Amino acid sequence: MSLPRVFVANPQIPKIAHDMLQNVATVVTTAGFDKKSILEGIKGADALLWPGRIKLDKEVLDAAGPQLKVVGAMSAGYNHIDLSELKARGIKLGNASPALGNTVADMAILLALAAARRFTEGRKHMEEGTWSKQFNPRWMMGQDVADSTIGIIGLGSIGQAIAKRMKAFDVGRIIYVGRSEKKEGKELGAEYVTLDTLIKESDFIFVAAPLDDNTRHMCNASFFAKMKKTSVFVNVSRGELVDQDALIKALKTNQIFAAGLDVMTPEPINPDNELLRLPNAVLTPHIASSTEKTRIAMAKWTAENIIRGLKGEELLTPVQL
Ligand SMILES: O=C(O)[C@H](O)CO
């Protein structure tokens, strides 16, 4: 019997995934990042190793063929994948969020602290020579984390890792929203609240929920209007959860204190985008999971999902379709 075929949709996936998959399958890696290479290479695949950000839609699934059984998304998010098409075709999907939770949470904390302590603005003062010689105790005052209320939108692997880290900062309270109350929330001492309560009572809001039709633009003008003027907004999920024009307005008018964003719209952001000029925004180019260790862990996790899927076993982290 011939081995199943696994198609890897990015030539830069860590070798470990290749090594693991080669024990059970013939592994074919795309010749290039472009759609043409993918559509050509994917034919006859039983499984796909699918990294973030490349669209997996009907056209791609049709090119693969009806034998396709499982998709291993090498990412936490899966908004680039057409879930209803997978469901209709009986294809399983697994993601890799536990493999990157800690690393993304580290970035979320970095963004929260940097935004709270005015990193962008401070750097600008140094570059422009506007750092005054005279000591003014009120200059560049930021926001404290100790005793603050931390609001987390989405208490999955990333949200939980954020809560764990925040506890070490002696915060006052951790509250969260999500599809339902979670036992992990109780274990972390976090309180399940309504979205309205979270928006109004949090000093720091972390967005760590998946992007779907329910969460798209959930952080909009009315969301920012309800936040405290002293609050910091952090997004490490997807830019589309935020109405970015409304966020820019809230930052410009000091309706909220600051924002720390690893994700935005579009990506890559246009260098002329106003977001890049705001003194109270700290931005990173969607690199929250980008460390060597984590990329390797993500590749291993994804390969394991695929191996299980090919054997007809339950995936490590199945995505409900
Ligand atoms: O979905 C993912 O893997 C995230 O974008 C990592 O930051």
Residue 287 Cα: closest atom of ligand 1: 7
> Which sign, positive or negative, has the C-alpha torsion 300, 305, 308, 311?
negative
Mean pLDDT confidence for 16-32: 96
* Catalytic residue flag (residue 286): yes
Q: According to the model, what pLDDT value does residue 52 have?
A: 83
Kindly state the percentage of the chain with pLDDT values over 70.
100
Query: How far does the centroid of ligand 1 lie from the alpha carbon of residue 148, in Å?
Result: 27
> What is the band of 240 on the pLDDT scale with cuts at 50, 70, 90?
very high
Mean pLDDT confidence for 111-137: 96
Query: How far does the centroid of ligand 1 lie from the alpha carbon of residue 137, in Å?
Result: 40
pLDDT of 144 > 80? The answer is: yes
Residue range(s) occupied by CATH 3.40.50.720 in the chain: 5-98+292-310, 99-283
CATH number of 99-283: 3.40.50.720
Single pTM value for the model: 0.96
Q: Render pLDDT for 176-207 as a digit per residue (tens, 0 to 9).
A: 999 999 999 999 999 999 999 999 999 999 99
Residue 96 Cα: closest atom of ligand 1: 3
Q: According to the model, what pLDDT value does residue 53 have?
A: 83
Name every protein residue with a CB atom under 6 angstroms from any ligand 1 atom. Answer: 52, 75-77, 100, 104, 288-289
In CATH, which superfamily holds the domain spanning 5-98+292-310?
Answer: NAD(P)-binding Rossmann-like Domain (3.40.50.720)
Mutate to test the pocket of ligand 1, among 104, 110, 215, 240 (most ligand atoms within 8 A of CB): 104
Considering the candidates 18, 80, 217, 286, report the single residue annotated as catalytic.
286
Q: According to the model, what pLDDT value does residue 7 have?
A: 98
> What is the band of 33 on the pLDDT scale with cuts at 50, 70, 90?
confident
pLDDT of 222 > 90? The answer is: yes
Q: Render pLDDT for 81-121 as a digit per residue (tens, 0 to 9).
A: 999 999 999 999 999 999 999 999 999 999 999 999 999 99
Residue 104 Cα: closest atom of ligand 1: 7
Query: How far does the centroid of ligand 1 lie from the alpha carbon of residue 247, in Å?
Result: 21
pLDDT of 1 > 80? The answer is: no
Mean pLDDT of the chain: 97
Query: How far does the centroid of ligand 1 lie from the alpha carbon of residue 237, in Å?
Result: 7
